[in-house]
Amino acid sequence: MRFVIAAFLLPSLATSALALDVVFPDCDAPPTLDPSPRLPEHVSWVDPRLRGGRMLDVVGSLRTGEPLNVIISGQSHPDVLSHVGFIAYARTIGFSNECLGLHMGLVQLADLGDGIGLRGEQLLVRQTFRRHIPFWGTTCWESFAGGNHFRAWKQNGTLANTGAWFLAVSAEESGSKHHAIIPDGYNIGRDLLVSRAVAEDNEEWKATVDWVQGLMEPGSKGINHRIPVDGLVAVLTVRKRNEDEKKPWRSLWTLLRFLLPFLPL
C-alpha cells in the first residue's frame, strides 16, 4: 500500500505549519537478510536492517541508541554527498562545526548495514544562532544554551554503497543540564531540520522530503533516555537551485539594509 498525504503538518512544530508532499511506502513486512552485495543502480539508500545494521545508533551499549531519523538521499547533489560539501550545505540550513572545533562527550557508533559494521560518528554539527555576531554567531551559543544538533554517518560500504547520509537529529538541553535530550527532542529536532531544509529562503539549495514509516518502531523501547519517538524517518533529496530560481532581490535587500543607517534621511 502506498499513499501520499499533501499539506502534511510536521508533527512536533506547534508554532508553524508546513505543507509537504509525504510518501509512506509499505514497510510493514519484517526485513530479510539479502546475502548478495549487488544493488540496482541509482539506489537512494538501503535499509540498514536488511544487512545486519539498525536504525538506532549506539550510545554506551548496544541496548540503547538514538534514532537515525533523517536520511540525505544518495540521489542528492554530489557536493552534498561529500564530507566537505555536506558541512557547507549544513551551514546553509543553520548548522556548523562544534564551538572552536572542540568536542567533549561520547562518540556514538552506528551500523548502516553496508558491510563496514559499527563505526564512530563522522560528523557532529550544532545549530548556529545569530550568525552575523562574532564568536556567538557560531555554534558556541548552542553548546552553552542548548538547541538542535545532529551526528552523521555515510552509507558507503561494499554491501550498500549508496552515498547516503544517515543523521541522528535531536534537540538538547543546555550545558548546565549536560545536554540531555529535551522531552520529545528526537521528533522536534528532526522536524526543525526538515523545516529549514525545505524552506524557500535557501538561495543555493532546495530539498524535497519523503516521510517513511516502518524503519523504526514507535515508542521508547531501546531509545536513549527513554524518550518516545513517532517512528517516522525523513528522507531528504537535496539539489542545487537553477540560476533562474535564485532571487537576486535578496542580495539587493541585504545591501540596502547595510547602507540604510548611512543614508541622509
Give the span between the Cα atoms of 169 and 95, in whole angstroms: 12
DSSP code at position 10: P
pLDDT in the model for residue 247: 57
pLDDT in the model for residue 1: 42
In a domain, 18, yes or no: no
pLDDT in the model for residue 19: 31
In a domain, 249, yes or no: yes
Q: CA distances (Å), 116 to each of 122, 183, 192, in order?
A: 13, 33, 30
Please state the separation of Cα 57 from the chain's center in Å. 14
- Stated pTM of the model: 0.76
pLDDT in the model for residue 214: 97
The domain of 173 spans: 50-262
In a domain, 43, yes or no: no
How confident is the model over 198-217, as pLDDT tens digits? 999 998 999 999 999 999 99
In a domain, 16, yes or no: no
- In the numeric block, the cell 542548548 is attached to 146
pLDDT in the model for residue 97: 78
Question: For 85-178, where are the E strands, in sequence order?
Answer: 95-97, 109-110, 119-120, 123-127, 147-157, 160-172
pLDDT in the model for residue 114: 97
Give the span between the Cα atoms of 98 and 190, in whole angstroms: 19
Domain count, the chain: 1
In tens digits, the chain (265 residues) has pLDDT values of 433 333 333 444 433 333 333 333 344 444 555 555 566 667 899 999 999 999 999 998 778 999 999 999 999 999 999 999 999 999 999 898 766 555 556 889 999 999 999 999 999 998 886 545 554 445 455 555 557 999 999 999 999 999 999 999 999 865 555 568 999 999 999 999 999 999 999 989 999 999 999 999 999 999 999 999 999 999 999 999 986 565 555 555 555 555 555 555 4
In a domain, 4, yes or no: no
Give the span between the Cα atoms of 34 and 36, in whole angstroms: 6
pLDDT in the model for residue 10: 45
How confident is the model over 212-224, as pLDDT tens digits? 999 999 999 999 9
In a domain, 209, yes or no: yes
